[in-house]
Amino acid sequence: MSDVNTFIDTIGKDISATVSPKIESLAERLTSATFTQYGPRVSAFASQLARDVIEEQSATIRDFVTTVIQDIFQRYRPELAGELHTRIVQGALEVTGRNVRIDVKRRDTGDAVSSLDIPVSLTIKMDPVGVTLKNATVRLDVV
């Protein structure tokens, strides 16, 4: 006569041998069905949902962005300030900026809100220019 532990162990082994394969088979069938049948439907649903959201909300977003841009430009005025200094150096043209900046000011009060300094330093190389005169004729007429 077996004890309780042996009894339970024997039943457990039997269940493992007979029921577990069935559960595994069921899980495989469910997985397969999910991938083949439900997966595409979920994907199609998600795509349609995203399309509907975009279609229905695009006008709202467009109006919002337009209003925000209009508000910003009505409220602020950008100003470009500074000077470009150009000088000729050996074989090149040198352009440097002095106090070049973009000031953002309030349209109503003219107060500066923010200022962005823009460093400008350019060197434009220029090769020598050759000029050839070929029988250029100068005629003179008495007026």
Partner 1 sequence: MSIVDDLVENLIERNAIRLNGAFTVTLIDGGVAVKGQVLSTLRDQRKNKDVLNVNAPIDAEMAVGEIVIPLPEIR
Q: What would you measure as the largest C-alpha separation in the chain, in angstroms? A: 146
Question: Closest distance between partner 1 and the C-beta of residue 60, in Å?
Answer: 32
Identify the residue among 2, 111, 121, 134 touching partner 1 (CB under 8 A).
134
Nearest CA to 82 out of 120, 124, 123 is that of 120
Nearest CA to 127 out of 95, 91, 86 is that of 91
Site for partner 1 in 30-59 (CB under 8 A): none
Rule CB under 8 A: is residue 88 a binding residue for partner 1?
Answer: yes
Question: Closest distance between partner 1 and the C-beta of residue 138, in Å?
Answer: 4
Rule CB under 8 A: is residue 121 a binding residue for partner 1?
Answer: no
Question: Closest distance between partner 1 and the C-beta of residue 108, in Å?
Answer: 16
Identify the residue among 49, 53, 54, 93 touching partner 1 (CB under 8 A).
93
Question: Closest distance between partner 1 and the C-beta of residue 80, in Å?
Answer: 5
Rule CB under 8 A: is residue 26 a binding residue for partner 1?
Answer: no
DSSP category for residue 122: E
Q: How far is CA 1 from CA 7, 11, 12, 13, 109, in A?
A: 10, 15, 18, 18, 101
Q: If residue 4 lies in a helix (H) or strand (E), which one and from where to where?
A: helix 4-33
Q: Which residues bind partner 1 (CB under 8 A)?
A: 78-93, 100, 126, 128-142
